[in-house]
Amino acid sequence: MAASTTKAKQAAPKKTGTRKPAKKTATKRRTRQTGKKLVIVESPSKAKTIEKYLGRSYKVVASLGHIRDLPKSKMGVDVENDYEPHYISIRGKGDVIKGLRKEAKKAKAVYLASDPDREGEAIAWHLSYLLGLDPKAQNRVVFNEITKDKVKNAFKEPRSIDMDLVDAQQARRILDRLVGYSISPLLWKKVKKGLSAGRVQSIALDLIIQRENEIKAFKPQEYWTIESEFQKGRSKFMASFYGTKQKKQALADNAAVQKVLAQLDRDGEFNVVKVVKKERKRFPAPPFTTSTMQQDANRKLNFRTRKTMMAAQQLYEGINVGKDGNVGLITYMRTDSTRISSIAKHEASQFLHKEYGAEYAATKPVKGKLPEGAQDAHEAIRPSSVFRTPASIKDYLSKDQFRLYQLVWSRFVASQMTPEVLDTMAVTIDQNDVQFRANGSQTKFAGFTKIYDKTEKNNVLPALSEGDVLKLNKTDPQQHFTQPPARYSEANLIKALEENGVGRPSTYAPTLDTIQRRYYVKIEARRFVPTELGTIVNDIIQEYFPDVVNVGFTAKLEEQLDATEEGQENWVKVVDSFYQPFSKEVADAEAGMEKIQIKDELAGFNCDICGAPMVVKMGRYGKFHACSRFPDCRNTKPIVKEIGVLCPQCKQGQVIERKSKKNRIFYGCSRFPECDFVSWDKPIGRDCPKDGHFLVEKKVKGGKQVLCPNGDYTEDKQK
C-alpha cells in the first residue's frame, strides 16, 4: 500500500510537469487575446478587409450600422427642452450591443472606424456612449479608401469625435422627425392610413408633379424641316434648309415649305458659298461624385439608384480578389467633390504613359467645378489603384459590381487624359438666295475617348471648297411637332435635386425609394409618373405646409446644416428657426383641414362571392378590384389588362398583362389556373412561318423586334 502510494506520489510530479507548460501557454494566449486592440466598423465585409491590414494585434468587429436611434413609437424629441432627442437602442440590436460591450471590456484599446461622414460620426458617438468611452478620447479613425497604406496611416493619427459633424447629423435627423411625425398623423387622420411626408421626399414629389402639370398643359406647335441630298462627283451627303437671304428662317407650316421649294431650280446648279474648317477639342468629364455616379449608372447601366449605392458600398468595403485577399476597390462613395489626391494623379499618369503613351496623359487634368454648397470633404469616387483594371479582376466580381467598377475606373482614367481632337467642317450651299447647311466632323485624335464616352460615328463630308458646284438629288420636307418636357428619370431627378441644393449625396437613394414605396409615384418606361394618391398628398402639403415644398427654403436649411458641420451654426438654433413657424402651420392644418374622401371607382361588375358591386381600390402596389362590402366581404381581384390576343396554348382565353412579385410585367392566360400559359415577352397573335410557334415582341436596343422564341425567325426591328 505504502509502495503504491509512494509510486503515486513520485509519478504525480511527472504528470503535473507535463501539464504546466500547456497551462502557461493558455494563460499567455488569454493575455495576448485580452491585450488586442478593438476596432469597430459598420459592416462585416469592411471588418474582414481592415483586419487583414492591421494584423494580429487588432480585432475588428461590426456594429451592423446604427445601434441607437429615435424611437419609432413616438416623436422622441423634446421640443420644450432645446429639442433634446431621446435615443434608444434599435430593436434587434441587443445581442450586437452585448457582444460589443464584451469585446470592449477585454480590449487593450477601442477604436471607432465608422464611415468618414456625418452618419459615420454619429455612429461613432452612439458607440462611445453605449460602451462608456470618453468622446474626447483620441479613438476616432477615418479613411477615405480601404487600402493597406491608408488604413495603417489612419491608425497613426486617431482623433476625437467631431461633435460638429454629430450635431449636423442630429439636426437633420431631428428636423426629419419633426416634419414626418407632425404631418404624417394628419395625413393618416384626414386622408388614408399608412401615408407619410418628409422634407426632401416632399420636394422630389412636388418636382415630379410640376413636370406632369407642364406636360398636361403643353400645346404642341407645328414646324417643318427640309432635308436634302446633294452630290459632288460620286460623293453624296445630307444638308438641311437654313434660311433665305443669309438669314435663318423657321418653317411654320407646309405653305412656308412650298414657298421655299418654289424658289429652287431642282435641276439647276447649287453653289458652295462658304466652307469653315476648324479644329475642336472635347474635354473629358471630371471623376464621379455620388450624384454623377448615380446619374451615369442610371443612364448607361440602367441601374436604379439603390442598386448603384449597394454595389458601390460593396466595392468600397472590400472584395476578395484572389492572392491579394480582401481589397477596397474604390474610394468612399458619398462625396460631392471632384478633387483627386496627388498620389492618385501620379499613379494615373504612370498607367497612361505605360499603356497608351505620353500623348494620352494630360499634363493638367480637368478640374470639376464644385456645386454650390459642396463640402469637398472627401476625394471624388475613383479606383483605389488604377493598375487594378476591370479586366484583371472581372472573375472576382458579380456582374453588377463589375459593371459599376468599370464605369468608375473608366471615368477616372479618362479624367486624367488629353482631350479628343476633331476636325469640323461647316458648309453653306446656295441657290437663288436659298441656303442649306451641312456640318461634318471627324476624329483627328481619340484622346480620352480611347476608353470612355466615345462619340457617335463620324459624319464625314466630301472634300468641298468655296465655288464648288453641286447637284441636288432629292428633297425631303418633314412635318414635326414640338414635344412636351420629358418626365423625370431617376438620373434627371437627382440632377434637379442637386441643382436646387436639396438633399445631399447620402439622401438621394432613400428619398427616391420612399416616394415609390408609398405609391406616390410609379415608374413607367423608366420615368416617374405621379399617382392620384401622390397628387392628393402634394396638394395638402402645398396648401398647409408651403415651406416644406419651398425649394429655396429647403436649400437654405441644407446650407445651415452644412454650416453646423463646419462649427459656424448652433444646431438647436437651426432646428428652432424651422420648427417655430412650422408648428403654427401644423396647428392651423389640424384645425382647418377637412377629411378627404378618396372615392372608390366602380369596377363595372359584381362580386362573385356576395354579389355586391366591385370597386377600384388603391393599395401599396397600385390599383386593384375589391368588394364594396369590405370588411364584411374580403374578395379582391387584380386589375388585368387584355392585349387583344387569343391564348396561343388553349385558344380559348385572352392573353392578359400581369405583374410578378418584383413588379416585372409578364403575360398569361385569363383562364388561369385552367390554362397555365405564361410568357415574359408579349405575344402578337401571329405564328412563326417556319415552325408554327407563336411570335413575340421583344424589347431590344433601339426599339422592339418580332421574333420566334425558338430562334428560327426574326422580323425587322421596329422603333
Contact 235, 551 (CB under 8 A): no
Instruction: Establish whether 58 is a catalytic residue.
Output: no
Which residues lie below 8 Å from residue 265, measured CB to CB, with a gap of 6+? Answer: 431, 432
- Nearest 5°: phi and psi at 289? -100, 175
Contact 554, 200 (CB under 8 A): yes
Nearest C-alpha neighbor of 413 from the set 331, 338, 349: 349
Contact 86, 473 (CB under 8 A): no
Q: Say which of 332, 488, 519, 579 is annotated catalytic.
A: 332
The identity of residue 623, as a single letter, is K
CA–CA separation, 305 and 298 (whole Å): 7
Residue 134 Ramachandran class (φ > 0 left, ψ -120 to 50 alpha, else beta): beta
Contact 389, 329 (CB under 8 A): no
Residues constituting the chain: 719
CA–CA separation, 631 and 616 (whole Å): 15
Angle value at C-alpha 475, between 472 and 480, nearest 5 degrees: 155
Q: Name the grid cell of 221.
A: 406647335
- Nearest 5°: phi and psi at 594? -90, 155
What are all long-range contacts of 259-265, with beta carbons under 8 Å and residues at least 24 apart?
260/226, 260/434, 261/226, 261/475, 261/477, 263/432, 263/433, 263/434, 264/431, 264/432, 264/434, 264/472, 264/475, 265/431, 265/432
Cα Rg, the chain, nearest whole Å: 34
Which residues lie below 8 Å from residue 572, measured CB to CB, with a gap of 6+? Answer: 82, 83
Beta bridge partners of 470: 270
First to last CA, the chain: 105
Nearest C-alpha neighbor of 509 from the set 708, 333, 635, 646: 333
Contact 493, 528 (CB under 8 A): yes
- Nearest 5°: phi and psi at 690? -95, -50
Contact 171, 571 (CB under 8 A): yes
CA–CA separation, 328 and 316 (whole Å): 5
Contact 362, 418 (CB under 8 A): yes
Can you state the percent helix, strand and coil of the chain, rounding each to 5?
40, 25, 35
Beta bridge partners of 481: 222
Q: Name the grid cell of 708.
A: 420566334
Query: What is the set of active-site residues?
Result: 332
